[in-house]
């Protein structure tokens, strides 16, 4: 079964660092871009950034550039989302999603279950 499994919920204080993960299985992991999508409480989906695990080429939404870092460990089929210093406004559910791109498709076809991050003093 093709799936993405994310790490568990986190509760952190402002200023702390955090790295959450997304592990792929059931397909050739290095061949598909993986995106991160944020959903703040009661809000819609916000595209954050994307990485190609094969060479760790990462791209970011201009609005979030510099606030997070996306990395990959292709030997372990894992993609990470990292914050150096969390803010209360980072409280959200974070989803990873596989980009399936080809001749007739370019969409996010497999999604992780989501990781809830709560930042509160």
Partner 1 sequence: DIQLTQSPSSLSASVGDRVIITCRASQSIRSSYLNWYQQKPGRAPKLLIYSTFALQSGVPSRFSGSGSGTDFTLTISSLQPEDFASYYCQQSDSGPPFTFGPGTKVEIK
Which x/- pattern over 86-105 shows residues binding partner 1 (rule: CB under 8 A)?
A: ---------x-x-x-x--xx
- Our finding on whether 46 is near partner 1 (CB under 8 A) is yes
Map residue 49 onto helix, strand or coil.
Answer: strand
Q: CA torsion, points 5, 64, 82, 105, in degrees to nearest 10?
A: 30
User: Among residues 17 and 101, whose Cβ is nearest to partner 1?
Assistant: 101
Map residue 89 onto helix, strand or coil.
Answer: helix
- Our finding on whether 56 is near partner 1 (CB under 8 A) is no
Q: Which of 13, 59, 82, 87 binds partner 1 (CB under 8 A)?
A: 59
- Our finding on whether 61 is near partner 1 (CB under 8 A) is yes
- Our finding on whether 114 is near partner 1 (CB under 8 A) is yes
Element (H, E) at 82: strand 78-83
Between the alpha carbon of residue 100 and those of residues 12, 44, 62, the distances in Å are 33, 22, 23
Which residues bind to partner 1, rule: CB under 8 A? 35, 37, 44-47, 49-50, 59-62, 95, 97, 99, 101, 104-109, 111-114
């Amino acid at each position: 079964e093709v799936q993405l499994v994310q790490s568990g919920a986190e509760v952190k204080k402002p200023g702390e660092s955090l790295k959450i993960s997304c592990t792929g299985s059931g397909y050739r992991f290095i061949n598909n871009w993986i995106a991160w999508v944020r959903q703040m409480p009661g809000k819609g989906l916000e595209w954050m950034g994307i990485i190609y695990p094969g060479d760790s080429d990462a791209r970011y939404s201009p609005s979030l550039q510099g606030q997070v870092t996306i990395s990959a460990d292709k030997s372990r089929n894992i993609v990470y989302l990292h914050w150096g210093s969390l803010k209360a406004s980072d409280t959200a559910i974070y989803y990873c999603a596989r980009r399936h791109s080809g001749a007739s498709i370019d969409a996010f076809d497999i999604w992780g279950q989501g990781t809830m991050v709560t930042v509160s003093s």
